[in-house]
A and B are shown apart, each in its own frame.
Chain A
Amino acid sequence: MAEEIITDAMKKAIGTKTKPVKIEIEKGMIRKFVDSIEDPNPLWQDEAYAKKSRYGGIIAPPGLLMAAEMRGRGLDLPFQLPMGRILDGGGEWEYIKPIKPGDVLTVVDKIHDLRVREGRAGKMLFIVTETTWTNQKGELVARALGTLINY
């Protein structure tokens, strides 16, 4: 019964990849991000300091990829959400290689899974999306699974 929330069009969307989006990583973008979370680590901001680290320069903190703007299409799903409210259920981020200012990342999103569960607030649709980030050298630098709850 709960399954009727997931329409055929939605089922068909599972596995479909979005058009790749290119995002250039800039120092200012990283600075604005770490300022917002109040993370003073000099590795994210201080070029002279970071130069002496094993990375040889500034790198992005783990949190940067959690930012909505680092996703390709974000909430632009290939189907209409069946219910009115959304919550971010969480995510899983895997960091494979350092991300540095000047990198141009290609971001691809994909609907990984759709599930319906009965919750306190009634039926809840769990939309699991997969995101991959590949740098200008063609190296996969990170991968994530995000869970969006529509209820």
Chain B
Amino acid sequence: MAKQVYYEDVKEGKEIPQLAKNPTTMQLVKWAGASGDYYQIHYDKDFAQAAGLPGVIVHGRLKSSFLGQLLSDWVGEGGWVKKIAVQHRGMDFPGEQLTCKGTVTKKYVQGGEHIVELEIWTENPRGEKTAPATATVVLPSRG
């Protein structure tokens, strides 16, 4: 695990460490089983194409979970992920890398908590933000 990040280390506009994910059809099946989402557009190509899609697509909530991991990796054990708001805007396909990225947008102290707000997103190999999101986390303070 990476070194604990503290509120004082964070600057507005700064990027957080990226998380690269490479979803495969096998991962979509594993996610379907673990999450209980058996909608066939995520593992049955014929079904997906009959529904007008180019092929099976990555579950939106799998992408949201990747963003959850991006944040929990960053805030570490001393921090807390308070809120994630995701828009599943673009489709992603197994076999294409998804890079989870984030930028700090705001930091402030409220109710004794050291709060950091971020813009986070998943990005496809063409540089498109397929799941733009905002997040609020709490970080420990050195103070």
**Chain B residues in 8 Å Cβ range of A32:** 33-34
- Bound together, the chains give a CA A88 to CA B34 distance in angstroms of 17
- Bound together, the chains give a CA A88 to CA B88 distance in angstroms of 7
Cβ of B49 under 8 Å from chain A: no
Q: Are B131 and A90 in contact (CB under 8 A)?
A: yes
Cβ of A20 under 8 Å from chain B: no
78-129 of chain B: CB within 8 A of chain A:
78, 80-89
**Chain A residues in 8 Å Cβ range of B71:** 62
What is the total number of residues of chain A having a CB less than 8 Å from a CB of chain B?
Answer: 33
- Bound together, the chains give a CA A10 to CA B30 distance in angstroms of 34
Least Cβ distance of A55 to chain B in Å? 8
- Bound together, the chains give a CA A39 to CA B27 distance in angstroms of 12
Q: Are A38 and B21 in contact (CB under 8 A)?
A: yes
Chain A interface main SS type: mixed
Least Cβ distance of A91 to chain B in Å? 6
Q: Are A62 and B68 in contact (CB under 8 A)?
A: yes
Cβ of A37 under 8 Å from chain B: yes
Q: Are B68 and A66 in contact (CB under 8 A)?
A: yes
Least Cβ distance of B44 to chain A in Å? 14
**Chain B residues in 8 Å Cβ range of A66:** 35, 61, 64-65, 68
- Shortest Cβ distance from A146 into B: residue: B61
- Bound together, the chains give a CA A91 to CA B88 distance in angstroms of 8
Least Cβ distance of B50 to chain A in Å? 10
A92-100, A110-118, A128-136 - interface stretch:
A92-100
With A63-B68, A91-B86 already in contact, 9 other A-B pairs whose C-beta atoms are closer than 8 Å: A39-B65, A43-B77, A62-B68, A66-B64, A74-B36, A90-B64, A90-B86, A91-B61, A93-B85
